Chains A and B, each alone.
Chain A
Amino acid sequence: LAKTTQPISMDSYEGQEVNITCSHNNIATNDYITWYQQFPSQGPRFIIQGYKTKVTNEVASLFIPADRKSSTLSLPRVSLSDTAVYYCLVGDLDTSGTYKYIFGTGTRLKVLA
């Protein structure tokens, strides 16, 4: 499984766009890139997943360059409630169809008023 590297922490102000970059130099051909959000005392929550180029949902956008060695999670116009830890994961399905979720240390985002 590819190892990921993220900034330990980031600060932002309400209303700003936040971009969190994740490095995954050893990503394999079949690996997907997935981002999770975790609030204190809660389990992680799926945000977005992608394989290449750009993916957008109602919460965030995920930008993946052609070489797929990094990815950037973009949160538009953050609010105080977006203060959380954000995890980048890469991995693929094994032959039984199960996916292994290996978390790194994540990025602690603090949104300031």
Chain B
Amino acid sequence: EAEVAQSPRYKITEKSQAVAFWCDPISGHATLYWYRQILGQGPELLVQFQDESVVDDSQLPKDRFSAERLKGVDSTLKIQPAELGDSAMYLCASNHPGRTKNTEAFFGQGTRLTVV
């Protein structure tokens, strides 16, 4: 069964350092999402791509976070500089748009970030 791949699974970084996460969606899925999930809370949407274009990044802290999906396939989420409050699980998801009755997003295993 096809899966959304994320790496690394775990990352420990010092505050003020840069950190990056990678996501490879399911082949053919044009829509890609990045979420941040703080322990005990639901996932929070950070950015949504349709192919290589950003559809929604209203909740992305743009002073330190950036996301790209240059070829409309895999994507990278970067934080620079990292802050202690960025410690969370970062989840990537993908979906195939246009299936009007398909509301199923496929999530990866996530990257657990700890900022020390």
Binding site for B on A (CB under 8 A): 32, 34, 41-46, 49, 85, 87, 89, 91, 93-94, 96-106
CA distance A89 to B76 in the complex (A): 26
Is A93 within 8 A of B100, CB to CB? yes
How many of chain B's residues touch chain A, expressed as a range? 20 to 34
- B33 interface residue, CB < 8 Å from A? yes
Taking a contact as CB atoms under 8 Å apart, the answer to whether A100 and B45 are in contact is yes
Closest approach, in angstroms, between the C-beta of A32 and any C-beta of chain B? 5
Q: Give the chain B neighbours of A32 by CB distance below 8 A.
A: 101, 103
Residues of the B chain whose Cβ atoms lie less than 8 Å from the Cβ of A91: 103
Which residues of chain B (24-38) have a CB below 8 Å from chain A? 31, 33, 35
B28-65 CB mask vs A (1 if < 8 Å, else 0) is 00010101000001111100101000011000000000
Q: Which residues of B in the span 66-116 have a Cβ within 8 Å of any Cβ on A?
A: 89, 91, 93, 95, 97-110, 112
